Amino acid sequence: MEDIKDLARRRLLTGAAALGAGALIPGCGNSSPVGSAQAAAPGGPQGRYQAEIAIVGAGLAGLSAARQLVAAGRKVLVVEARDRVGGRTLNRAVTAPGAQPGTVVEVGGQWVGPTQDRVLAMIQELGLSTFKTFNTGKLVDFRGGRRSEYAGRIPPGAFLGAVEAQVAIMRLNSMAADVPLDKPWTAPKAAEWDSETFQSWIDGNLFSDNGRALLQLAIESVFSAQPRDLSLLGVLFYIRSAGSLENLINTEGGAQDSRIVGGSQRIALGMAEALGSDRILLNAPVLRIEHGDQGVTLRGDGFEVKAQRAIVAIPPTLAGRIRYAPALDGLRDQLTQRLPMGTVIKVQCVYPKPFWREAGLNGQATSDVGPVKLTFDNSPPDGHIGVMMGFIEGSDGRAVLRQTPEQRRQGTIESFVRYFGEQARNPLQYIEQNWASEEWTRGCYAGIFPPGVWLDYGEALRAPIGRLHWAGTETAELWNGYFDGAIRSGERAATEVVAARA
């Protein structure tokens, strides 16, 4: 009979659906169960476990913290709510006729780019490889009811607006240079910038409709939120964190430069495999954390994990849904009440081939009409089938949360037909991922900063509380919101733990 540990290991590697048992078999491996440990029960682990460092969340942040701590000789246990690792990275099988076995698309984060040095190094360490995002051919722009194709950076008819947007981008880059990454609230104009939304900045600084629309779309696509949701200081911090606004929005040479062969979830799967299934407890939502001078205890339904310290590697708003005993101080608690997640539904249609390439198009469209306002060619590296991907973001994402998946499918197809013609009408497969409705994520791409949060609560974002440490991409200084930031945050928290006295 197949051993539960083998099953668990296979599940870690495939990210497959729940098998109805906790992944860590009590009694095996590095993190030893204590006392009343018993066979894993349906739905999650049962019993008592012990480690030196307990880590909440098996996303890139939690796994990279664990990786670094294991390298430092520490005994770790990663406690993950879902039945898989990877968090906001997730591969989905393409099952359409003609798709080669093993073909996947990413329904969560997918791209990496220059200057994202930590994730690029991790990809190399794990023996993975990248390929360039398909970027050959003209772009499509749909604006004011008219579709046009163009080469270069400026959509036809939007010349003045594009120039105005470009000037605004240069101004924003230069303002961002004044925002210290470790303490954005100490920027000379922090109070002024954190008192206004990005929308009010656009309203006061851009005057052409096209200029405003281009900058708005850029911001929506970076934050999956509306400019009215975002603090100007928060946007400037994010720009500085990535190096420039161009780094955030560009395909070639920017954050959308490359993808990972086999899908981005392979980063998390690779890290998990190296850690071993006995260091990862799946199906184990942490509901309560008790903490004090003697150590920490993580509790979920039917299990507990005792450790000297814990790293909570989940988005702040989810960290705020855990119950702490004693309760956390008001600054930290109120911070977690104020960092909502963005809203995005990622939609993909599979076709027999990437037909838009034959028409000289690179598959990238921008639009002023939803639900999909931004598309990319998401075909596998050899292009043996075509995958068109779109984002439904911000307000559009919120609007379609009221729809059924079938209505969203229809809206997506209408958008793709509008940009790429009738050949987009009948996809072989429709794939959508609605991150807002995922219990253990609750929105994407990341937590966003409304006005006033950096200023009044910023110092509570990373500061450890006793034996509790905070990680997750939202806590990163560099490439905040991205894979790279997630890995950096996990490594920073691991360094904190190693430096702390037991």
Ligand X SMILES: Cc1cc2nc3c(=O)[nH]c(=O)nc-3n(C[C@H](O)[C@H](O)[C@H](O)COP(=O)(O)OP(=O)(O)OC[C@H]3O[C@@H](n4cnc5c(N)ncnc54)[C@H](O)[C@@H]3O)c2cc1C
- Positions touching ligand X (CB under 6 A) are 56-62, 79-82, 87-89, 108-111, 285-286, 313-315, 318, 322, 344, 346, 435, 440-441, 444-446, 472-473, 481-483, 486
CB of 17 to ligand X, least distance (A): 15
The answer to whether the CB of 222 falls within 8 A of the CB of 249 is yes
CA distance 124 to 264: 13
Buried b / exposed e across 305-338, counting CB within 10 Å, b at 16+? bbbbbbbbbbbbbbbbebebeeebeeebeebbeb
What stretches of 46-116 show up as alpha helix (H) in DSSP?
60-71
Nearer to ligand X among residue 203 and residue 273 (C-beta): 273
Nearer to ligand X among residue 88 and residue 143 (C-beta): 88
CA distance 336 to 333: 5
Nearer to ligand X among residue 121 and residue 191 (C-beta): 121
CB of 138 to ligand X, least distance (A): 23
Nearer to ligand X among residue 87 and residue 234 (C-beta): 87
Nearer to ligand X among residue 89 and residue 226 (C-beta): 89
CA 261 to chain centre: 18
Instruction: For residue 409, give the amino acid letter.
Output: R
CB of 407 to ligand X, least distance (A): 20
CB of 191 to ligand X, least distance (A): 28
CB of 149 to ligand X, least distance (A): 25
* Both structure tokens of 377: 């060619």
CB of 51 to ligand X, least distance (A): 14
CA distance 478 to 473: 9
The answer to whether the CB of 40 falls within 8 A of the CB of 4 is yes
CB of 320 to ligand X, least distance (A): 10
Nearer to ligand X among residue 109 and residue 371 (C-beta): 109
CB of 2 to ligand X, least distance (A): 25
| Nearest alpha-carbon partner for 26 in 9, 13, 38 | 38
* Both structure tokens of 123: 């990809």
* Both structure tokens of 235: 């946007």
Nearer to ligand X among residue 154 and residue 284 (C-beta): 284
CA distance 34 to 443: 36
Residue 285: half-sphere exposure toward Cβ, Cα within 13 Å: 12
Residue 359: half-sphere exposure toward Cβ, Cα within 13 Å: 18
Nearer to ligand X among residue 82 and residue 212 (C-beta): 82
CA distance 5 to 276: 10
CA distance 412 to 395: 15
Nearer to ligand X among residue 24 and residue 81 (C-beta): 81
428: buried, middle or exposed (CB in 10 Å: 19+, 13-18, 0-12)?
middle
CA 26 to chain centre: 31
CB of 344 to ligand X, least distance (A): 5
